[in-house]
Amino acid sequence: MLKNLIFLLPIALLTSVPFCKSENVATTKVFIIPIDSNLFNWTTIEPDDEFEYSASLVNAPDLPKWIEYSYSRRHRTGFLYGVPPKDQESLQIEVVGLNKMSYETRRRVLHLNVLEKLHPATRQIHLKIDNVNVDDFFDSYRMNRLLDIFRFKLWKESFADLYCTFLTSAVSLGARLPLRPSEGEGVVIRFGSTAPYSNTLIELQEEVKPLWKLQHCPRDFKRTTVERYFRDEGFILDWCNFRLLDETMPLRKPTEHIEEASPSPELYQEPVWYQPTKKEVSQRSYAGEFAFTILIPMLIMIVLVVLLSVIIGLQHEGISKRKSEMVEVTPSPSGIHRAGTGLRGVNHDWDGVGRSRTSSPQTGLRATGGDGLSRPTPPPYSSTMRTAVVDF
């Protein structure tokens, strides 16, 4: 029994040690490492969607900041990608695979041998492509099609050593997700070389330089003279983010004949930065801002209200005065009635007088409607009296 245990112990130790795979990566150059079921020796007929992967540093909870992990549903494969910085040492990545059908887990270790790249790029091109995702560039064919645009058309001087120096999703850098899920998230990518820039690239940068004040350009916002090269390959670029990054150009122009000033002895007696106390910090007065933002508008508003009140009051007073004058000129209805009654009485008397003088005498008594008195009729005229008067 003891012999059997001694025989099985080395086998158990060998099975507990994870399988190690070595990968060589170069500094300042993007590497892409696929992670699929073949890495864990899963040869079942189950689809690749039934496997789940996670990666981290050995004995660490996460990956370093210059390595990213992404699972591509299009390729049904996970990918580790990134750019080793300069002076980066070799490291080990632990990858854990989970079979979601059987809940079996397996562990693998990837040993990344970081090598210093010979003749690293000194000039780079910064691009932002709107209609693609990061996993589109995991396919070497798509990456080479984009590189060929610069190798054969825009930057022929870099044909020998042009390579990708940076690759990440635009969303990871703060961009928004597209409104339509079918549209690409966007990719920020850089290509580098040691060759000098071509005149075409320099003219292209001058063409898009007015767009640098915009952080993001909508699609089809600007089409450049070289737009057709990218459209033919299915790339839509955001020209607001097009840059030429030249590391050979100094940030400041070298100055000549600069005399070094000898340090003052007082400089060593006082600290470089003196922290002031709270009392020494000057306080800002907001009286001027308060008067400018509140008092002055209120005064203007009060003056306008007073002017409008005076104008409306004077106008109302003039209207009232005109109405009173019209009332004084216009006669009242009672006066009109009394005047009409008097005229009717005068007319009636005038008719009575006319009739008494012109009409012939009437016999009998006549009753008047005005006073109700009986008057005797005048004596009739006789013909004898008329003739007597004539004879006389």
C-alpha–C-alpha distance, residues 152 and 149, integer Å: 6
Q: How many Å separate Cα 17 from the centre of its chain?
A: 55
> 116: which 2 tokens?
């210093």
Pairing type for strands 374-375 and 366-367 reads: antiparallel
Give the number of other CB atoms < 10 A from CB of residue 80: 22
> 72: which 2 tokens?
């591509």
Q: For the sheet containing 19-26, what is the strand order?
A: 19-26, 104-115, 91-99, 51-57
Phi, psi at 178, each rounded to 5°? -65, 155
Contact 150, 191 (CB under 8 A): yes
Q: What contacts 93, CB < 8 A, 6 or more positions away?
A: 55, 56, 57, 58, 63, 67, 80, 109, 110, 111, 112
Nearest to 110 by CA among 40, 165, 28, 176: 40
Would the pTM count as exceeding 0.85?
Answer: no
Q: What is the pLDDT along the chain (392 residues), one digit of tens a residue?
A: 444 444 444 444 334 446 678 899 999 999 999 998 888 888 766 666 788 899 999 999 999 999 999 998 888 899 999 999 988 899 999 999 998 888 889 999 999 999 999 999 999 999 999 999 999 999 889 999 999 999 999 999 999 999 999 999 999 988 888 888 888 899 999 999 999 999 999 999 999 999 888 877 877 787 889 999 999 999 999 999 999 999 876 544 434 433 333 444 443 344 455 667 777 777 878 888 888 888 889 999 999 999 999 888 888 777 777 777 776 655 555 555 555 555 555 455 544 444 444 444 444 444 444 444 556 777 776 555 554 444 44
Nearest to 34 by CA among 117, 135, 103, 185: 135
Tell me which DSSP letter residue 119 carries: S
